[in-house]
Structure 1
Amino acid sequence: MKSLSFAFMIVVLFNYFINALADNDHYIITIKTKINLKDYDDDQNVKDAVDVFVNDKLNDIYDIIEENKDTYTLENGQMDERLEELDSIVMNKRHHRSTKLLFVNQVNPQNITAIQNLQNLQKRSDNSTEILDDKIEEYIPVESKLVSPICPLDSGYAVVIYASDEVIKKVKKLPDIKRCNKSIPTENDANTYYNLDFIQKETNWTDVIVQDRFKNVSRNFYSHLSLLSQSHFDSESTEVYDNTYYYPKTAGQDIDIYFIEESGYFDYDEFDTYNGSRTITCDAISDINYDFTELSYDDERRVKGCEVSNIKNTSHGTIVSMTAGGKYTGAAKKANLHIIATSLHSFSELQSLEYIRKHARPNKTIINISRTGYGYYSEIQEKIIELRRSGVIIFVAAGNNKENCCSSMHLYGGFDDVITVGATEDTIDRDISEVFYPSVGGFYLFEKDGTDYFRDYGTSYATPLVAGVAATIMSEHTEIRYNYNLMKKTLIDMSLKDILYGLPGETANRFINNGKRVVYSPNNAYHGCGENSGYSKCSKGCCSKDNKCIEFDGSSASQYCYVSLGCQSEYSEFCLSNKSTSTSTRLVNNRCGPGYGSCIIKKSRYIDGVGCCSKDGYCGTSSQHCGKGCQSEFGACYSSN
């Protein structure tokens, strides 16, 4: 098999809305004070020392904000209005070398007293004739919208700051910063069933963005995206499907995705450039009648869209490109999108690949080819190998004919150095197969909220979906130079293994995942354990390999509680260590141990009962038998022992 036997299985689904992209946010910072804060309210000296120390830290944080105010720019290109206070007259006084700000605690304004006491102490201890302003720090009280003290805690002093991503990275590096957590809005509806901090920890993303407008719609709009960011949905574990798309904030930013398509048009909200922060263009046309034309910057087709003269499908390229990087429908919402309008002829495709090679940025360029056929073209294969060597990653469609696409005669799934993407539907949950996207070609099935919707499926749309996920991986890890081999390995490692049904034995059973695996229940109903049930822990018994809670009662069902069979100790009350190799045909007075035998009973060729041998030599299944002192050579024991 020449080509990569790697076909991601995607349910191709579409949607139309997205929450506003977040920029800056509030963070609760805990500062280590090195002072026992239990005496804070009772000892004025302790209170004064802590308040002065915390206020100095807030001045350090404020300096970072001033130095990095440009990082607070919003998606619309405007400066965040909270930064206006930096330009006020009071703030300008800070430029005096002996002036600091006194950040008033709005809950407990008495922190001003500590600073005043410090100033009075400095003045009383100064006996020189020098100007005091040059020696004594002057504090200017302010009620800032950017930084503010809150209250002492047992573990430190809590403050709140309003920070950009860049500011929060630098604040975390300051000494005496114990914790830094984003402030989470609390609501009384189902919008907060997910834990953003946990997702950020699980994925290691710099920040998490949520698209959840249609999470409660019965037809599961946009579930082609929500499926990317969770493990296998099991209605017995979480009852309701979480139709929410979770993705990293970078969202493919500064990554170029090229599409070899007959056409592409950008007169849709999907193709928002966010005030020019990303590029969406038709770069060139490779036409059977007019050969190859690079569109100039003053050609309106470059920004409005273009097509070849002998076009067969007028909407395919538009839908493919929005699936990869559309503002609402796309997986990589900030990626640069480039259409190369290409006729359905191999020489045109070769021309387009060469154009991309000349303009590609190494390790920042993806090519999407959502077209298939039959025949081997050594020239195109050589060009693909050349593109791979130059750091370009190519995704191609496997085709919709349910055929083995690994033959070199299969365009392009059977070629070397490409990542081949398959598609599937109706394998996760039947309702999820009924999905729709905003109509592009003028045909629609129904109208909702002023938008006409149509539906489609197949590897043509699965391929750009995977390409979009790859773009988010690349933008999130700019320190890594992703190439074909590394991206292929990364996607395979991140994929969900063996969750699809009815596949031929030679087909790779890998379902695309963007790094977020935990499955949440919108109605907070969890009947299982582990990642498929919101990382819930079994309150009784063990969490099996397939994320089910099993009660250990000494029967054969307890086999699932063994570590050797995949018991997940992190989500279990306990797991059992490996079974004793010895068995007993009978026990006298339920005794076990040396001279008695094992608590694992075998009357014939099958094991009929499993028990634990306590430290006192008695069989049982309680924590007294299976816990501390349990004799593992004569029965099962909790793995923690």
Structure 2
Amino acid sequence: MKIYNLLSILSIITIFVINTVQAFDIKSSLKNKILKKNKENSTKTKNENYYMIFVNNGSSNSGSHSKREEEQLINSLIDEITTLIIDNKNTYKNPSKLEGFEKRSSLRKRENQNNKSALAYTISSLDDRTIIYSYLSDYVADKVKKLPNVIACAEDRKLYLSDRKGDRMDEMNKLNEVLNETQWSGVSVRENADIHLSLLSQGKYDGNSTTSYDKNYYYPSSAGKDIDIFVFDSGFNFQHPEFANKDERTIKCAFATKNGEIIPIENEDYCELTYGKEYHGLMVSDIAGGLTHGVAGKANIYGIALQVSDEEDDYPSEYPSGSDEYPNNYDEYPSEYDEYPSSSDEFPTDYSEIMFKEGSDFYVSFISNVLAALKYVDDNMLRPNKAVFNFSFIIPLNELIEEDQYIIDYFRDYIDHMSSKGAVFVACAGNESELVEKDGKLSYYPCSFDNVICAGAVDNLGEITIMEIKEKMHSQIELLEDESNFNVDEINEKIKEYRKKYNEEKDNINNLFKEKIMDPRNYRKAAFSNYGKVVDIHAPGYVELEYRDVDGEDIKEIGMGTSFSSPIVAGVAATIMSENPNIKFDSKKMLDYLIEIGQKNIIEGISEGDPNVFINNGKHSIYSGNNDDEEIDLNDEKTSDTVDSDEEEDSFIEIETDDVNVDEVDDEIETDDYSVDEVDDE
């Protein structure tokens, strides 16, 4: 009996111990789960950004999915992304920024019922790829990457600006020679033109003392007529007199883009500037198609305003180092030897009344806006073989980084797609003085794409020449320091002599530019210009331009940078397209044409094996310049909008001045009829 009682007690104790252990294990397991969950929540890094979500939409060449099925797939994915965002708002460092993104997108939500979410929406689609745009925390982005059909989730990338900051019968005969040389249907002349224009229509000027530089800009009278130049940039103001001929062409702000959305424009003459007083888009448009400073004065200009988000922290607080505006005038250097600046100091450059503005390196917008804008133009505005796109910005991307590679591939494929429709793309090389293509490293786009004509810059102002003269002067000064035969007074006299000679040579170079005369020493690659095998062609890197500021004042400046080389090339392309309507140009055909008529191997400073082509519009003959200050427009007007090489055309020269009646001039200098075939025979 005692043994039985003992066994019962032991059984009870055993059961109690087992239950206690199990209870502890359950409690411990629950605790571990709670700790794990807390740890997981604590590791949700609170960083966020705008994202482009690349999606396989199920489309294929075989048409296995209908359009409706594709929309259902995309909308379902948008719903999932929206749910993820809502459920994980605590992972955002700044939830108010997410709320702002949702608020700004609400208008698009109301206007487009296909996309039901204001937190995620499509911005572009090409074949089997669709891009959904959203504002994601890093935690949500990681979740989105794992969703079905998501190819990649890439942070939006910033775009960077790349500006650096005779008698009448003789003229008639000259223009007939131009017609014979170029085979243009008509020729117009802008006398006393800016250097960046006069250089386009003549061969290399060698400075021969028997001839003076021809300051005329000769161009086909069609001047880009009926060609659309799309300028993707920071903002526009087309109220300036440079765009006064709206009666014969279309000049307007087409639309704006922000956060990948298309924003309608209320005033076609004025698009909101990305930065309060940053006039990059205005300047670029003037060079492409302004009446005085532009290459193609009859081309249609469509401004596409690429804007950044509304958040204050998306704007730079100040200009980065080296991009401040240069002052208009400089004080004279001190004459005392011990106060003379070191060789590292910048020498002054006086451009008199003309302001000089160096380029800016801060960003202007995001690549999502470019992709959305391309899609909109492609769907609504593109006319085959009538469109030239100008991109005066660079996007640094690395093809070895997976997210960058998806952006590169999509951007390239969309440009290829539009180029196959007859669009021509021109982009600047950038102003970093760097090699553009870098295997396995950062490179610059869209300049690097095959179907984009990449424009580098030539130092037509003479910055490099001035620097060489400065270096020569410093070498002479250093030699003086080693001379024991001179005392301090003699050294100071010598330094004054060297300085005087330097200033004279510097002033001569500056005066040549102000007087619109090319210095033969300046056919060089600009020091700031990026370079390499993908830089297809070079154009002037210093330009004179005008624009209207936010206060309504008309400003004249000298601009520098490949941002201006690009619209020069785009403008020449537009004049070629208007002059040759029967040629179905795309980017590659246009590049081949530009290379054929361009000036080969005249630019110093380009590495052997890299393209060495200076832009030209087809006229290579060099005439002795007209030094008269009076400006005369000489227009060879054609009798029809297009020219058929098999049809005969009447040719006459029209000279327009304040003192000459145009009708009288026509009567005086009308020439015999001739056909293009006859010119070929000649």
Q: TM range, normalised to the smaller chain? A: 0.3 to 0.5
Query: Which structure shows the higher helix fraction?
Result: 2
Higher relative contact order (CA 8 A, sep 6+): 2
Instruction: With the length of structure 1 as denominator, give the TM-score of the two structures.
Output: 0.47
